C-alpha cells in the first residue's frame, strides 16, 4: 500500500490540476460501495440470485413476489447495516466545501445520504424505502423488515438453509413465506427501486441532468458504465465538452471519452483527490 502511494499521488496531481477551480458533478456506481461490504453484483438488500427479476415477473404472480421478497430480505439482513466508506465521505466533504455540486448515483444502498451528501440523485431509487403499489404509501425498509421477521419467525435460521448453492432462494423456503403488506390498505409492496424492465422516471433523470449542468466537470467513481443511465450522463457531459475523470478498478464503456482514467480503488483515490483539491 505504502509503496503505491507516491505513484498514486503522481497520477492524481494532473487530475487535481484539471479539476482545480471547477465544480465537480459525481456519477457513482456499485464499485464505490464494495468497500462498505456490499458486493457489486447484488447491491444492498437485493437478492443474491444471478438473474435479476424483471418488474413484469414481479408483478405477474404472488409466487414471484415471495421469491423476490425472501431473497431481498436476506440481502437486507446482511447489508442493511452497511456504513459509508472513505469514498462516500470524500464526496460529501467536497460538496460541503463547494467543490462538488452533488452526486448522481446508480446505487440503491442509500450510502451517499448516510455519508452526509446533500444533493443526491438516486437514479435507480433506494432499497431503504418501500412503496405500496396500491395506495402509494411509503415505508422505511427497516419497518418492512421487522414486519417480515414478525410474520415469518421460521426465518431465524442461517441463510444457507434458505438458499440453494447457486444463491437463489430454495423453492421450499418460498412456499411458506408470508409477504409484507401495506399497513394502510393491505396492498402489495415493492422496494422503491427501478427493476429490470422498468424505466428511470423522466423527472428523476431531468433532476440528474440539472445537477450535471450545475457543474463543470464529471467524475465517475466505481461504475463500469454498463447500465445505460450512466452512458446517458456521460453523453451529456461530452456534448458540453466537460472534462471527464473515471475512477474504476476495471475498464469502462466510456474510457475512450475520458480525459483521465484511474484504475484504483475509489476509497483510496477519492480521499487523496479531496486532499489535493482542498
Ligand atoms: Zn397501501
The pLDDT tens digits for 65-119 are 999 999 999 989 888 889 999 999 999 999 999 999 999 999 999 999 999 999 9
Nearest to 128 by CA among 150, 154, 94, 105: 105
The active-site residue out of 73, 112, 124, 150 is 124
Provide Rg for the chain, Cα atoms. Answer: 20
For residue 112, the CA-to-ligand 1 centroid distance in Å is 28
124 included as an active-site residue: yes
The pLDDT, as a whole number, for residue 236 is 96
179 alpha carbon – ligand 1 mean position (Å): 14
Q: Band the pLDDT of 4: cuts 50, 70, 90.
A: low
Grid cell listed for 209? 441532468
d(CA 214, CA 146): 40
> What's the whole-model pTM score?
0.90
Number of domains present in the structure of the chain: 1
CA angle 204, 207, 190 (to 5 degrees): 20
CATH code of the domain containing 37: 3.40.50.1220
Task: Return the closest-CA partner of residue 179 out of 227, 222, 130.
Answer: 130
CA 62 to ligand 1 center in whole angstroms: 16
Give me the mean pLDDT over the 46-65 stretch. Answer: 79
Over the stretch 121-170, which tens digit does the pLDDT of each residue have? Answer: 999 999 999 999 999 999 999 999 999 999 999 998 888 888 887 777 88
Kindly indicate the confidence band of residue 1, based on its pLDDT and cuts at 50, 70 and 90.
Answer: very low
Q: Is 36 helix (H, G, I), strand (E, B) or coil?
A: helix
Host domain of residue 56: 5-277
Amino acid at each position: 500500500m505504502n509503496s503505491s502511494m507516491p505513484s498514486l499521488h503522481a497520477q492524481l496531481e494532473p487530475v487535481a490540476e484539471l479539476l482545480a477551480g471547477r465544480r465537480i458533478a459525481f456519477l457513482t456506481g456499485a464499485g464505490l460501495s464494495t468497500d462498505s461490504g456490499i458486493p457489486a453484483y447484488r447491491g444492498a438488500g437485493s437478492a443474491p440470485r444471478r438473474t435479476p427479476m424483471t418488474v413484469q415477473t414481479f408483478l405477474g404472480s404472488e409466487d414471484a413476489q415471495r421469491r423476490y421478497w425472501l431473497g431481498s430480505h436476506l440481502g437486507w439482513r446482511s447489508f442493511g447495516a452497511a456504513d459509508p466508506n472513505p469514498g462516500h465521505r470524500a464526496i460529501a466533504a467536497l460538496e460541503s466545501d463547494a467543490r462538488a455540486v452533488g452526486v448522481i448515483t446508480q446505487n440503491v444502498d442509500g450510502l451517499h445520504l448516510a455519508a452526509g451528501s446533500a444533493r443526491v440523485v438516486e437514479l435507480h431509487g433506494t432499497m431503504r424505502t418501500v412503496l405500496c403499489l396500491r395506495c402509494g404509501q411509503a415505508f422505511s425498509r427497516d419497518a418492512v423488515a421487522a414486519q417480515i421477521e414478525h410474520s415469518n419467525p421460521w426465518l431465524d435460521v442461517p441463510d444457507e438453509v434458505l438458499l440453494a448453492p447457486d444463491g437463489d432462494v430454495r423453492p421450499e423456503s418460498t412456499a411458506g413465506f408470508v409477504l409484507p403488506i401495506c399497513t394502510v390498505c393491505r396492498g402489495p409492496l415493492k422496494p422503491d427501486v427501478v427493476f429490470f424492465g422498468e424505466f428511470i422516471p423522466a423527472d428523476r433523470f431531468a433532476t440528474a441532468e440539472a445537477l450535471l449542468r450545475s457543474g463543470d466537470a464529471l467524475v465517475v467513481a466505481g461504475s463500469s458504465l454498463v447500465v445505460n443511465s450512466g452512458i446517458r450522463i456521460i453523453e451529456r457531459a461530452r456534448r458540453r465538452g466537460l472534462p471527464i475523470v473515471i475512477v474504476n478498478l476495471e475498464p469502462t464503456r466510456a474510457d475512450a471519452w475520458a480525459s483521465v482514467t484511474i484504475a484504483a480503488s475509489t476509497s483510496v483515490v477519492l480521499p487523496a483527490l479531496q486532499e489535493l483539491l482542498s
